[in-house]
Structure formats: structure tokens, C-alpha cells
Structure 1
Amino acid sequence: MTVTSPSSAPASTRPRPGTRTPPRKPKPAPTARGFSPMRLLGMLFVWLFTALNVLILYWLATAMFKTPLEIFNKPFHLPFTWFERGDPFYNLRYAWESAGFGNAFVVTVVLVAVSSVVIVLISAPAAYALTRLGVRGSNPLTSFIAIGMGIPFQTLVIPLFIGMSDLGLTNSLFGMFLVYVALSLPFTVFLLTGFFKSLPDELEEAAAIDGASPFRTFFTVMLPLARGGLITALILNAIGLWNETLLAIVFLTDNANFTLARALFTLYGAASYQSEYGGLIAGVAIVVLPMLVLYLLLARRIITGLTLGAGK
């Protein structure tokens, strides 16, 4: 048995001096090699889940215009009775006026908007300081903030209620504002740290050479570059606070201070007693549909922002 040395290989197969060896052809991705049972199963699950959600949305959109009899007897038929009587918006009017959803809608919009803006205004400088200023102990502090995301806020309800009662802030919109901001800061700071880490160092160094202070660099250079992350954080906080129910049930007792979720909880008991199921479903639609429309309009921006922050 003879062993052929590299020097004895044919001249046509040996690379010439100074020539570059071509790179290996990359292997195709597992999903590109043809039929994959797991991929087919995953796609089937996604489409079934999507179809179920579309069906539920269709039922909600039609049931809000139906009488209770139509809701139970013809759940997937188009509404007829209220349109025949010339009062198609009876259920919506019942929820808006009789159940106090009009005032709750205004309270929720103002409270969620102010809270979301303040959360981002506090979180942005904090995230910038943790990631760009070289603060001593910034890494352990960032980890400590991330731990706050893993604490279920349900475990904090009783201590929060006792503390808020001692300060006289229960049944107060200002108290709800403080609770919303405090509980949303860990997630928002952690989210924005990813965006500030993704920004190039050269711009910050150029601003320092020009004599800009860290304060001015943050507001004039870095903050505009992180606009996508700020908008993403603002939208995510708005959606989360809009749907918040437990804290509103615990801290709010006056009808004038009810948020939409709190008003819906009260409407559930009254509508069940009066058999106003159409009004109850209309109340659910008033709570759900605004955030659904907002997400559909801004879904691409949210996904792009989260991908940018996670990929750097």
C-alpha cells in the first residue's frame, strides 16, 4: 500500500502559489432541503391558531350588535334584530352610557398616555447611563433591574396596598400612575439598554471631541438615534397598561376613577344580573378593539424595534 504525498499529487490539482482557495459551498438550511414534518406541523399549528383567533374576532364583532337571544341561538350568524328595529348601536350605547364606559374611556386614555410617556422619559436616561457612561457597577445593576422583570406583580399587591393606604393614595388616579410607572420601569430599562448598546461608539466619541457634555450628547446625538426603541417601548407599555385589570380592581373603588378594565369588571356583574349580554360583549369590544387596531397599524414597527434591540 502506497501513500501519496502532497508533493506527488498531479500539478493540475495543486493550488498555484499566490492563488486563493475558493471557500466551501455553504450547506443548505434544514428547512430548505425539502419536506420537513416538523416544519409542516409548525405551519399547521400557526394557521389553526390564526383561524381560531379570526373566528373569535368575528364572533365578537357580530355579537356586539345582537340581542341576547341571537347571541346564544345564532352565535355565528349576522346580526338582524337590532338593525330591524332601527337601533343597531343599542348595546354600545348601553355600555357607553349606562355602564359608565364613556368616563372610563377618557380616564384610561389619559392615565395610560401619561404613564407610558413618563416611563420612557425615566427609562431612557437610566438605560443610557448603564450602557454608555461606564458607571461603576453598571453590569450588576443592569442584572438587578432584569431580576425585577421576573417578580410577579401579583405578589406585590398586598404590600403595595398597605403602603398606598398609609400614604392615602388608594382610590386615586395619581396613586395608580405611581404604581404603573414603578412596575413598568424594569422591563422598559432592560429593553432600552439593548438599543443604546447597538448605537455606534464613533458618534459619541466625535461629540466628546467637539466638546459636548454627556448630557448634551445624550439629548442631541444618542436619543434621536434610539427613536425606534423609544417608540417601541412606548407602544408596548401603552398596550400593557391599557389591558391591566388586577391593580385597578384592588386600588380603585370610586366609579369616577374607573379605568375601562375596572368598569368592565363591574359591568360583568350588572349585565349578568340583567341579562344584558349584548351590552357586556359591547364593553369587551370597547376594551379590546382599540389596542387591536393600534397593534395592527404598528406591528411592523414593534417587531422591527424588538429585533434591532435583541440582535445587537
Structure 2
Amino acid sequence: MSTTALSSSSTGSTGQPPPRRKAPRRPKPAPGTQRISPLRVIGLTVVWLFTAFNLLVLYWLIMAAFKTPLEIFREPLSLPATLFERGTPFRNFVYAWESAEFGTAFLNTVILVAVCSVVIVLVSAPAAYALSRLGVRGSGPMTAFIAIGMGVPFQTVIIPLFIAMSEIDLNNNLFGLALIYVALSLPFTVFLLTGFFRSLPDELEEAASIDGASATRTFWSIMLPLARGGLITALILNAIGLWNETLLAIVFLQENANFTLARALFTFYNAASYQSEYGGLLAGVAIIVLPMLVMYILLARRIITGLTLGAGK
């Protein structure tokens, strides 16, 4: 074929060159993903300011726990000096521990939080599995009803709870307080674990059914180990929340022998304020705050990963 024929075939029968194809249009970037976005700048600014404020408060709390009352008010952000010069840097912590009887309160809190957290997860896991995997009739409305329980402030039920617990003689009793903790923590935990069980693959359940496994055995032997990340996340979140709980402990506990750490600190506040022992008071706050802070720092990645997995499925 000649060059003329090639040129004529490329231009078409009309003698016009074929139209040039347009390049595909680039998709618009999602909001907030541009390099310079006002919303992104505002959001990052707010987050970092909030983080800086919390770090400043934490720094002030730790430094004040090693200071005398005079240093706390005159030099609130400076490093502690007087107690270190006297050779008694932990004087405030010793005073708080002995005066507030934190030894018994610490033991009560550890046992109460550990038992309640485990019981909450043990009760919530089967309930969440039944609502999300067994096709229970009305499971959708039941899950929504449980979620509504998270929106009811527990302060609104304190008086009815106090009257009910008095009728069965469970006021001023750690067992009674444990029952309240478990009951009030179930809605959040069931709702959280429902998302984890829904994220598990159906094939494993079908294979277990073909092998003749019952629903109970499938739950305990297959599904529960697979949801270990969600169970640990729920356990940690409940432990942190119960450790810091104060209002219910104030209402339902009256004897020093039954006090939790938060309840003991509330009583210690009056004595420390009367004696102007503000360093000892802040040392008591640090004794309560620091264990959970360390725990959260060590397990933050597991908590965030677990929450993201449950929300993303």
C-alpha cells in the first residue's frame, strides 16, 4: 500500500483528521484532603491546643504533688525545690496515703474494678453475639433500645436506685455497688461488641454448622476467640471508666472500710483543705490519675485499633 493510501485512510473519507480524545477528568479531591484547607487548619489547631492544655494541666498536677502549699500558689509552673532540699520529696504522697487510708481503698478499687469489668464483658458478649449473628426476631429494635440506654444519664436514676438498694439492704455495700456498675455499663458494652461480632466472617460459622457444632459451641470455640480484640477493648474501657467513677461511690458508700479511691479522696478533700495541705491533696489526685494514665498510654494503640475495627465494619 502506498503512502498516499495510508494518509487518506488515516484522515477518513471526508478528508478531516479524527477528533482527538480528551484525557479523563481528574476526580475532585475529598473535602479536607487539600494541602491547604481552612477546615483542616482550624481542626488541627483546636486539637493541638486541647492537647497542649491537657499536657499543661498534667505537668502542673505532677509538679504540685511535690511542692509545699506556698510553692503551689507562688510558683505554680516552676519545678519543685523545697521538699527536695529537705530530703523528703515524697512527703505529700506519704501524707495522702496514710491520712486518706488509701491502702484499703486501693485494694477495694482494684478488686471492684477487676471483677466488674470481667463480669460486664462475660454478660455482654453472649448478648451481643445473639443480637448480631443468630437472627433473633426483633434484634434490630432491641439493639436500638439498648443503644438508647447509653443516652440516659445515670444521675437521673440515682434516687430510685438508692431507694431500691435500701429495700434489699445493699447500700454501703461493695457488692451492691458492683451490681449497679455492671447494670449501668451493659448498654455501652453490648452496643460496642455488637459491631465486633458483625465484622466477623460468616464462612467460619457456616463451616461449624456443617460440622454439627451447636450455636453455643460455635460462640465459645470459634467466634469468641476471633473477637478477642473487641473483648480486650471493652474490658479496658470499662476498667478506666469504673476506676474514675465517683458520684455513685459517694452516694452508696458511707463506711471507710468500703471506700473506693475516688470516695476516699472525696472525704480526704475536706480534711486536707481545712489543714491547707494542698500538696497532699494533689498528691492524692495523682495517686488516682496516674495508674489509669499509664495504662492508657501503654494500651492506647490496642484501644484505638479495636474501636476503629468495630466502627468500620
- Work out whether the TM-score is over 0.5: yes
Aligned to 1:301: 302
Aligned to 2:278: 277
Task: Measure the CA separation in 2 of the matches of 1:52 and 1:309.
Answer: 30
Partner SS state of residue 31, structure 1: coil
Task: Measure the CA separation in 2 of the matches of 1:298 and 1:23.
Answer: 46
Deviation readout 1:112-171 (Å, 9 max, x if unpaired): 010000000000000001111111121111111111111110001000000000000000
Distance apart, 1:311 and its partner CA: 1.0
Aligned to 1:200: 201
Task: Measure the CA separation in 1 of the matches of 2:48 and 2:21.
Answer: 54
Unaligned runs of 5+ in 1: 1-7, 16-21
Distance apart, 1:27 and its partner CA: 2.4
Q: Which amino acid aligns with 2:39?
A: M
Within 5 Å, give how 1:62-141 maps onto structure 2.
Answer: 62-141=63-142
Q: Which moved more, 1:133-142 or 1:206-215?
A: 133-142
Distance apart, 1:307 and its partner CA: 0.8
Deviation readout 1:164-208 (Å, 9 max, x if unpaired): 000000000000110000000011001000000011111100010
Contact in 1 for aligned 2:99/2:268 (Cα 8 Å): no
Q: Which amino acid aligns with 1:189?
A: V
Distance apart, 1:50 and its partner CA: 1.2
Deviation readout 1:21-53 (Å, 9 max, x if unpaired): x97643223334332222222212211111111
Q: Which amino acid aligns with 1:194?
A: G
Task: Measure the CA separation in 1 of the matches of 2:98 and 2:158.
Answer: 31
* Residues 1:33 and 1:140: Cα distance change in structure 2 (over 3 Å): closer
Task: Measure the CA separation in 2 of the matches of 1:311 and 1:266.
Answer: 44
Aligned to 2:259: 258
Partner SS state of residue 32, structure 2: helix
Aligned to 1:28: 29
Aligned to 2:214: 213
Deviation above 4 Å: which 4+ runs of structure 1? 8-15
Task: Measure the CA separation in 2 of the matches of 1:160 and 1:115.
Answer: 18
Task: Measure the CA separation in 2 of the matches of 1:44 and 1:55.
Answer: 16
TM-score, normalised to structure 2, is 0.92
Task: Measure the CA separation in 2 of the matches of 1:278 and 1:34.
Answer: 47
Within 5 Å, give how 1:152-171 maps onto structure 2.
Answer: 152-171=153-172
* Residues 1:10 and 1:143: Cα distance change in structure 2 (over 3 Å): farther
Task: Measure the CA separation in 1 of the matches of 2:118 and 2:80.
Answer: 40
Over the matched positions of the two proteins, sequence identity in percent amounts to 76
Aligned to 1:292: 293
Partner SS state of residue 168, structure 1: coil
Q: Which amino acid aligns with 2:307?
A: L
Q: Which amino acid aligns with 1:184?
A: S
Aligned to 1:18: none
Unaligned runs of 5+ in 2: 1-13
Contact in 1 for aligned 2:129/2:197 (Cα 8 Å): yes
TM-score, normalised to structure 1, is 0.92
Aligned to 1:175: 176
Task: Measure the CA separation in 2 of the matches of 1:230 and 1:50.
Answer: 28
Within 5 Å, give how 1:33-48 maps onto structure 2.
Answer: 33-48=34-49
* Residues 1:159 and 1:11: Cα distance change in structure 2 (over 3 Å): same
Task: Measure the CA separation in 2 of the matches of 1:142 and 1:41.
Answer: 36
Task: Measure the CA separation in 1 of the matches of 2:33 and 2:306.
Answer: 28
Deviation readout 1:253-272 (Å, 9 max, x if unpaired): 00011011101110111100
Aligned length, in residue pairs: 299
Task: Measure the CA separation in 1 of the matches of 2:219 and 2:51.
Answer: 42
Contact in 1 for aligned 2:146/2:187 (Cα 8 Å): yes
Deviation readout 1:59-112 (Å, 9 max, x if unpaired): 111110111111111111111111111111111001111111111111101100
Bigger radius of gyration: 2
